[in-house]
Amino acid sequence: MDSSREFVKDVKRVIVKVGTAVVTRADGRLAVGRVGALCEQLKELNSQGYEVILVASGAVGVGIQRLRYRRLVNSSLDDLQKPQIELDSKACAAVGQSSLMALYDTLFSQLDVTASQLLVANSDFRNPHFRMQLSETVGSLLDLRVIPIFNENDAISTRGHPNEDSSGIFCDNDSLATLLALELKADLLVLLSDVEGLYNAPPNKPHAELIHTYVKEKHEGEITFGDKSKVGRGGMTAKVKAADQAADAGIPTVITSGYATDNIVKVLQGQRVGTLFHKDAHSWTLVKEIGAREMAVAARECSRRLQALPSKDRRKILLDIADALEANESLIKVENEADVAAAQEAGYDKSLLSRLALKPGKISGLAKSIRILADMKEPIGHVLSRMELADGLILEKTSCPLGVLLVVFEARPDALVQIASLAIRSGDGLLLKGGKEANRSNAILHKVITEAIPDTVGEKLIGLVTTREQIPDLLKLDDVIDLVIPRGSNKLVSQIKDSTKIPVLGHADGICHVYIDKSANMKMAKHIVLDAKTDYPAACNAMETLLVHKDFLSNGGFNKLVTELQRKGMKFSRN
């Protein structure tokens, strides 16, 4: 669950408003498939104990289609040659409302759900007795697990035309949904649109980006709205106004796509879909986004100071880090054991526990590896190739740092040390996000490493990202971060590639094979296979598949190898 959506755990009463653009097709006819998916989601919520209220739109559009068809059927050829008189929109609303409700009634009946219709007008809400009766009636319906379906009674509206705005208590179904959310004390308002949510520009523009959490102080002057809805009075401008009003009154509101078949359910699950409006958004979202940028900018500034150091000074930083790790081994062990204990209590599998645990000798092994890295050939400033293009004009390819790296890796604390050491050796700034199961281990290792970095460089050279929710904000910083390296599943790599303009160093799916040819040295083959599988079986590069030449089966060597692996706890499936 996204941390900004944890409030959904306390949601009981939900109001869902569906716009005309969602329930109708481009030709104005009802989009039966989308309406059906909407009803299925509401039925699921209803069966889970949520109190669901629907605010529906589309009556005028549906009525126009039906009356146009009737007029066409009843017209003579001569009638069709005459100028067509515009249909009375109030009549369209009256006809369309019955068709719309008939569809909802049919679909809900198929799902064994009962729905009810409540038509309201602007003037109704000026009557305090009406408001009281409304609340009582809706309460009775919800107690009976009936889904109330609200719509403005456009057929008798005092508005000159149902698609015209007017002053009043509400002026469209978006503002009606907000009014009902306040009157009926809803815990959540969901406004369904024909786009995924609120963008900083019209969604069809190439530079448009979805805003996951709306912060008025930050976004109000940055958003460029597109054209008004062609099929209703609302559009995104009306939705933002309604959502902002509801949020200010303490009712969280989400604008999301009604085209998706499960977005309402996802919202109630706390998933990060659509755009969230929340009265506390400024206090936690703006700080988080600024924090992500500040962390990345600080890493870039520190990396430039690191790059300016002589090679011997960068070497000394690595040696100091190796010494610091060994000096703080007991403290690191305490934090790591706490992570392991928590993971065991949570029921994680043995492979994760194995990667998570810093076994005896691991810290000294890491320190040794860092010292070896410190003594390796200087990686920066080497001329890799040189070409004379013309007299006095020479083109050189020179090795240089990458810049600022964002590395997302699994719950493996030793990876933090390895990645940080490599970044320092190559002069790069670094942002690290490890698996949450290793939070305490990562925190202490990060502290030990950064405290060993001299002030001339700055400890902010390496930033530690502590929550997964910070990742989307970091992935927006293509002007600061130069490369993203996700270490994990192909799904993780694909998700990150799809979420950023920053170059991503990904990888493809693969299986670790070892092949034994008929000409192989048996003793050597046995040693390699045992080491590849049993030395660190939880590692991602541990052997998964053993291929053998068929001749190897006849000399008995394969059976001996299998016996040895089984003795060490390995299990086989033969293909």
**Domain 3-279 architecture:** 3-Layer(aba) Sandwich (3.40)
Helices then strands, each counted (H, E), the chain: 22, 16
pLDDT of residue 469: 73
- Mean residue pLDDT of the chain comes to 83
Mean pLDDT over 448-461 rounds to 93
For 94-179, list the strands marked E by DSSP. 115-120, 147-152
Structure tokens at 85: 């008189």
Per DSSP, helices labelled H in 209-328 are 216-219, 236-248, 263-268, 281, 287-307, 311-327
Least confident of 2-11, 263-272, 334-343, 401-410: 2-11
- Considering the entire predicted model, what is its pTM? 0.52
Residues of the chain with CATH 3.40.605.10: 286-497
Q: If we measure between CA atoms, which residue out of 443, 438, 486, 441 comes closest to residue 462? A: 443
CATH of 286-497, one of 3.30.70.100, 3.40.605.10, 3.30.300.30, 3.40.50.150: 3.40.605.10
Residues of the chain with CATH 3.40.1160.10: 3-279
pLDDT of residue 455: 92
What does DSSP assign to residue 58?
A: -
Q: Measured in whole angstroms, how far is the alpha carbon of residue 478 from the centre of its chain?
A: 18
| 317: confidence class by pLDDT, cuts 50, 70, 90 | very high
pLDDT of residue 286: 46
Q: Is a pLDDT exceeding 60 seen at residue 289?
A: no
Topology classification of domain 513-567: Aldehyde Dehydrogenase; Chain A, domain 2 (3.40.309)
| 323: confidence class by pLDDT, cuts 50, 70, 90 | very high
**Cβ-based burial of 33 (10 A; exposed 0-12, middle 13-18, buried ≥19):** exposed
Least confident of 4-13, 197-206, 324-333, 517-526: 197-206
In which region does residue 467 sit, left (phi positive, over 0), alpha (psi from -120 to 50) or beta (all else)? Answer: beta
pLDDT of residue 221: 62
Strand order across the 188-193 sheet: 115-120, 147-152, 51-56, 13-18, 188-193, 253-257, 275-277, 213-214
pLDDT of residue 80: 59
- In angstroms, the Cα distances linking 402 to 62, 320, 379, 412, 429 are 58, 23, 12, 24, 9
- In angstroms, the Cα distances linking 251 to 182, 219, 246, 258, 278 are 8, 19, 5, 20, 7
Q: Is a pLDDT exceeding 60 seen at residue 165?
A: no
- Looking at per-residue pLDDT, the higher value among 218 and 567 belongs to 567
In which region does residue 164 sit, left (phi positive, over 0), alpha (psi from -120 to 50) or beta (all else)? Answer: beta
The amino acid present at 133, given as its one-letter code, is: Q
Buried b (16+ CB within 10 A) or exposed e, 328-359: bbeebbebbeebbeebeeeebeeebbebbbbe
Least confident of 30-39, 172-181, 216-225, 457-466: 216-225
**Cβ-based burial of 395 (10 A; exposed 0-12, middle 13-18, buried ≥19):** exposed
User: Percent of the chain scored above 90 by pLDDT?
Assistant: 38
Q: Is a pLDDT exceeding 90 seen at residue 454?
A: yes
Phi, psi dihedrals of residue 298, rounded to the nearest 5°: -65, -40
pLDDT of residue 449: 95
Those residues whose C-beta lies under 8 Å from the C-beta of residue 73, and which sit 6 or more positions away, are: none
Buried b (16+ CB within 10 A) or exposed e, 108-139: beebebebbebbbbbeebeeeeeeeebeeebe
| 511: confidence class by pLDDT, cuts 50, 70, 90 | low
pLDDT of residue 232: 44
User: Percent of the chain scored above 70 by pLDDT?
Assistant: 83
pLDDT of residue 79: 57
pLDDT of residue 566: 81
pLDDT of residue 163: 45
| 157: confidence class by pLDDT, cuts 50, 70, 90 | low
**Long-range CB contacts (within 8 A, 24+) of 288-293:** 288/469, 288/470, 288/473, 289/218, 289/473, 291/470, 292/470, 292/473, 292/474, 292/477, 293/473, 293/477, 293/480
Residues of the chain with CATH 3.40.309.10: 513-567
Q: Position of tokens 């729905």? A: 115
Q: If we measure between CA atoms, which residue out of 297, 291, 208 comes closest to residue 479? A: 297
**Cβ-based burial of 171 (10 A; exposed 0-12, middle 13-18, buried ≥19):** buried
Least confident of 76-85, 295-304, 454-463: 76-85
Greatest pairwise CA separation for the chain in angstroms? 98
pLDDT of residue 2: 61
Mean pLDDT over 280-307 rounds to 78
User: Which residues are registered as beta bridge partners of 397?
Assistant: 385
pLDDT of residue 85: 63
pLDDT of residue 234: 53
Mean pLDDT over 194-199 rounds to 86
Per DSSP, helices labelled H in 400-461 are 413-426, 439-451
Q: Give the count of alpha carbons within 13 A of 156, CB side only.
A: 8
